[in-house]
Chains A and B, each alone.
Chain A
């Protein structure tokens, strides 16, 4: 290193004008050849994948999720049949500019590597076709359940494959719970059934009791997944001649203050319901009113749409497509989009015709349902959880020697698993005698894969929530 010189620097070595021209021509020649080579390679290569976007959590929770593939250049329109997914899932494809959108028709399986290929991708100016391929692994759900015990009841967080058990909240006399936003809503009841609603934050440990608009039983907690809207019913302690008459439906947005708002019905009055639920993944409510009207309520606009007249409310399907209700003619699934009704008649199990109980009916018409098989002589019966594909029913879970009982079940949002609440042996009367929502002390929840019927996990507790 040296200080800068003030005198002009001489040219590097002795060069003749001829050698300069030769070097210049050589440089230009080399650059021309290199440009030609890479131009040819560019023509032969075709479009390439630059990046991709997919929400690994949302794609296992709801259908119609989109994988976005960004190419390195603008593309000609992609053929609708050009997309293939492995493992096979129905999907549609569209393109705009350098973006290819692959929309999955159904929620994908948990913790599974999917490979999406789009063939025949070509530039608008022609050239070589290429196949864009992208692989991604879907997320696992977080599971929450209630484990009642002495001295405290515990809300437990766990996973599908891990055996880890994390207590997110423990307290006395938990009747129901549901995760909503960043908190958990927990209901408890005094001996006279007077309910309280508490919001607990597992991260900060802060608990706060919600000021309720009326004194009564608090029940039917539900929350919109990926939203902060909580819903529940309050019933007067003196139920009167018809116990369901006072079940007023309220909502509370936990991220927007603590105002408890009554849901209004078709008549503009607070709605009284015999059963209700959020449509999974949305803030839309489906409820059966005490006037036996099935309604769909948009909580954002307040719009109430009647869907028909029924007596009993069973459940909204895990995929959010239908609601199962009961009337004098039996069970029916009602499409939430247009209210179209489909009567549910269970398919035979091993040639025997079962009786249908609680049912989850997915968009394709497949059922996961409690079914009862009665022996030919009528002397015995067995309660099973079965999967009905419209042709035959297949047993998913049955207690050992039919000694137990299937209490309830919760299908996962992607219809891959079902969580079955089981009392292993009904002859042991071991109720925990909670006033609102009693359960046998021996209640166990099994996770069953619907495709195979394999039990993959079991936990001691109930009220399992898929998140």
Chain B
């Protein structure tokens, strides 16, 4: 395998030369954030007693729906970030990788369960997957981890349970479905005669950057991870919530109900929704919860297993690692398996 290419000199200069500006930017953003939060409190204090603040009905509905998703999901996102810091900065690198079975199938099965101890959503798993390859894992094995971890991780399991409990087999369907997809895709790509051809050249550089960055103390690393994860996750939460609210406000309920009760359209609609909104697996259960009253449970599971693996955001991130052809093949198999899992649950439950 020829993936460990040293980072270019330019990359190092890029990191070091711009530190003062990055620092200024951080203070600027901190100021913006503080003023923003203060403005929200001031607005609340000013408008709290008013019966109407002149916000049109649809906008009020949109804000209410979006805020409810944010309020429900935010504590879990913060928890996810904190756990991610613990795993990435404070646990030994090879804690989870010391002992693995020899058999490829069992080895992939074990790797697909790694996510249980790695409580980060799919955004955070890509760097971890790169790390696995650097430590000697095959590409299909790291792919198995990448597909399973966002679904199997404890934050996702907790939020899914929080949203749905054990109703209609949604939680169990998501966990087992995620494991099945990850292992089958891993098996399928293990048959590829040239695993390195799956990867893009650029991925090697990113791996190198990840392993050759400046040495940091654990505290610095923790702060760095916190800022990185927050800046990736928070916009996803807020924008995802707004899109979820907008869909419910904009799309007539009759259309949603008709779509949601049709065995085929409910599955396709959920996959399309998951693909477009690209919400993180840590919070997607809360996002989709309002749709549970109109969509069949299997369709919800399809959303919950398809979304963490294939969506606009993940394709963009994975494109840095895998070739377009591989992503197309991956998307096709994952879509069919997600649809199959949803159809089976709709039939059985």
- The residues of A with any CB-CB pair to B shorter than 8 Å are 1-9, 11-12, 14-17, 19-20, 23-24, 27-28, 31-32, 34-35, 38-39, 41-43, 45, 48, 50, 72-75, 97-98, 123-125, 127
Contacts and interface: CB of A to CB of B under 8 A. Distances in A.
Given A9-B141, A45-B347, A73-B346, 14 more contacts: A1-B100, A3-B99, A4-B94, A4-B98, A8-B136, A8-B138, A11-B194, A12-B190, A14-B193, A19-B193, A27-B184, A98-B293, A125-B261, A127-B262
B320 interface: no
A17 B192 CA distance: 6
29 contacts: A2-B100, A8-B136, A11-B191, A11-B194, A15-B192, A17-B194, A20-B192, A27-B188, A28-B333, A31-B336, A31-B340, A38-B343, A38-B346, A38-B347, A39-B343, A42-B263, A42-B343, A42-B346, A43-B263, A48-B349, A72-B168, A72-B349, A73-B261, A73-B346, A74-B261, A123-B261, A124-B257, A125-B261, A125-B265
A34 B193 contact: no
Contact of A72 (B137, B138, B293, B296): B296
B329 interface: yes
B9 interface: no
B139 to A, nearest CB: 9
B1 interface: yes
Interface of B: 1, 94, 97-102, 104, 135-138, 141, 168, 184, 188, 190-195, 257-265, 293-294, 296-297, 329, 332-333, 336-337, 339-340, 343-344, 346-347, 349
B340 A11 contact: no
B98 A17 contact: no
Contacts of A42: 263-264, 343, 346-347
A9 B293 contact: no
B224 to A, nearest CB: 26
3 closest residue pairs by CB, A with B:
A8-B1, A42-B263, A38-B343
B99 A31 contact: no
B193 A16 contact: yes
A95 to B, nearest CB: 12
Given A4-B100, A9-B136, A35-B343, A73 B260 contact: yes
Contacts of A127: 262-263
Identify which of A11, A32, A43 gathers the most chain B CB atoms within 10 Å of its CB. A11
Contacts of A2: 99-100, 102
Nearest to B94: A4
A35 B339 contact: yes
A32 to B, nearest CB: 7
B181 to A, nearest CB: 11
A32 B335 CA distance: 10
A28 B185 CA distance: 11
A124 B136 contact: no
Contacts of A41: 343, 347
A462 B55 CA distance: 66
A40 to B, nearest CB: 9
B339 A1 contact: no
B258 A20 contact: no
Contacts of A48: 349
Given A45-B347, A124-B257, A127-B263, A38 B192 contact: no
A50 B265 CA distance: 21
A19 B294 CA distance: 43
Nearest to A14: B193
A157 B179 CA distance: 56
B195 A125 contact: no
Nearest to B299: A73
B202 to A, nearest CB: 19
A273 B190 CA distance: 89
A2 B110 CA distance: 13
A31 B329 CA distance: 13
B297 A72 contact: yes
A19 B193 CA distance: 9
Contacts of B135: 4, 6
